[in-house]
Amino acid sequence: MTGDSKSDSIYARSRELADDAAPLSGPLSGVKICVIGAGFVGCVTAAGFAKFGHEVVCVEKDPEKLAMLRKGRLPFFERDLEELIRSNVKSERLTFASDLDQSLEGQKAVFIAVGTPPDKSGRADLGAINEIVTRLARELEPGQVIVIRSTVPIGTARKLKDILKQNGRENGEIAVISNPEFLREGTAVYDFFHPHRVVIGGDSAEAIETVRHIYRMGAVTPAPTIVTTNETAEMIKYASNAFLATKIGFINEVAMLCDSVGIDVLEVARAMGLDTRIGPEFLNPGPGWGGSCLPKDLQEFLGLGQSRSIPLVILNAVRQANENQHEFVVSKVKSLTENIDEKRIGILGLSFKAETSDLRDSPAVAIARILVNEGFVVKAFDPAAAEDAKRILKDVDIVNSSYDALGNTDCALILTEWSEFQLLDWKKAGEIMRHKNIVDARNLLTPEQMRRYGFNYQSIGQA
């Protein structure tokens, strides 16, 4: 395999894991794959499969995006992905195209990775997928496999099979496989090569084997493969995201209690996480969960519950608790700035988490809006999301550095866990602030050190 050193090192780590996996039977050869949609999931999937050794064409209809990708540039920020794309374009295993029909010829599998944004009612909008499958019904040859990679409501694959039938493709001659992704923004490339599991849902043994083969190729997936029905695969995706939201919501509430009784939640979370039944991940308290997936998927799940008259008490509370968490952070800012006139806040971090420029449903954006509505004067800095932030946060002064955000303010507020905020010269920052108050909503800094620098320091659950 050729490629640059960074993405190769990711591959090498995967290889190490793969060496522990059960031996594979017989030689494996690459297959031709089409990936529709060059968003975050499409790009990672296309470049990842190319790295496995498959021949991949990724179809994108947005001409600007396409032009950038062809030049080896990413239209969004995702660590390691640009290098992975470049090395695979160079090795000619990955190409980008605009014409869907031409890109389907001879492909063994067609992965659909287009967006399913919430519609006005909050449910997933399947317009783009329905349109694509209607086109595929006309274009595909028997034996080609459609694989749904986008997150789609339970029952979608069945409806897509109906679209195929309505367009004259009877008897399952074109199979529909559900293959949900579990990629986190910011670490998606790593996640692609180190999956916890691969879920393949469908009713055609041959098509399931094709998708299995695609993942086995390159021997980088020692993770368990779950072969199941389409509906179960769809449910696994929603249940997983709903559970992650619940887990974060839970530790956020424990953090509130820890705050009030003077206990360090990080110590509690660490000890809890050592119990394998609980596990250490997703136990970091913060300003609430956000992003393009957890909120949207929880909303869809709640919508399903409502349509089936199933109350989903826990998950409704999880959503409410997340909104409470924004208010909890704001209340900390208020308590530190109580006696100050014309309160000025310097926010550090606006993206919904570090290593991404994504502002969708970001708790930082929600909190900035609450502060503005309550009369605070707000400046903010984010290392990756500044341009988008200027468009959506008109009443916030988006500045170019952490120091610009903190200068002459009464309270610093860390809302995204970018490591550069940890490395900031906080002594210097304290000197340019009007009052040395800080709310560290990501528990990024060391409380003792911040207090030594003279800050009134508050974090989440570390009273």
Stretch binding ligand UGA (CB under 6 A), from 111-119, 207-215, 279-287, 330-338: 279-287
- Residue of 98, 284, 324, 456 interacting with ligand UGA (CB under 6 A): 284
Q: What are phi and psi of 174, to 5 degrees?
A: -120, 115
Walk across the sheet containing 397-398 and list its strands.
397-398, 377-381, 344-348, 411-414, 437-440, 456-459
Check binding of 183 to ligand UGA (CB under 6 A). yes
CB of 169 to ligand UGA, least distance (A): 29
The residues pairing with 437 across neighbouring beta strands, listed in sequence order, are 456
Beta strands in 141-279 (DSSP E): 145-148, 175-178, 198-201, 225-228
- Residue of 195, 201, 249, 290 interacting with ligand UGA (CB under 6 A): 290
Site string for ligand UGA, 317-346 (x = CB under 6 A): ------------------------------
CB of 354 to ligand UGA, least distance (A): 8
CB of 332 to ligand UGA, least distance (A): 16
Q: CA 73, CA 441: separation in Å to the nearest integer?
A: 33
CB of 15 to ligand UGA, least distance (A): 23
Closest to ligand UGA by CB, 7 vs 151, is 151
Check binding of 185 to ligand UGA (CB under 6 A). yes
Query: Is 293 a residue of the active site?
Result: yes
Give the SS3 label for residue 304: helix
Contact 114, 128 (CB under 8 A): yes
Check binding of 254 to ligand UGA (CB under 6 A). no
Residue 124's alpha-carbon distances to 238, 318, 439, in angstroms, are 12, 19, 35
Instruction: Name residues contacting ligand UGA, limited to 224-253 (CB under 6 A).
Output: 241, 244, 248
Check binding of 80 to ligand UGA (CB under 6 A). no
Q: CA 350, CA 358: separation in Å to the nearest integer?
A: 9
Check binding of 294 to ligand UGA (CB under 6 A). yes
Integer-rounded Cα radius of gyration of the chain: 24
Stretch binding ligand UGA (CB under 6 A), from 85-93, 165-173, 283-291, 405-413: 283-291
From the list 121, 115, 117, 114, the residue with the least C-alpha distance to 302 is 121
What is the phi-psi region of residue 314: left when phi exceeds 0, alpha when psi lies from -120 to 50, beta otherwise? Answer: alpha
Q: Which of 43, 58, 293, 411 is an active site residue?
A: 293
Classify residue 374 by burial, with Cβ atoms within 10 Å: 0-12, 13-18, 19+. Answer: exposed
- Residue of 88, 144, 151, 156 interacting with ligand UGA (CB under 6 A): 151
Check binding of 200 to ligand UGA (CB under 6 A). no
Contact 35, 111 (CB under 8 A): yes
- Residue of 181, 234, 259, 388 interacting with ligand UGA (CB under 6 A): 181
Provide the annotated active-site residues.
Answer: 293
Interface residues with ligand UGA (CB under 6 A) are 151, 181-185, 241, 244, 248, 282-284, 286, 289-291, 293-294, 352-353
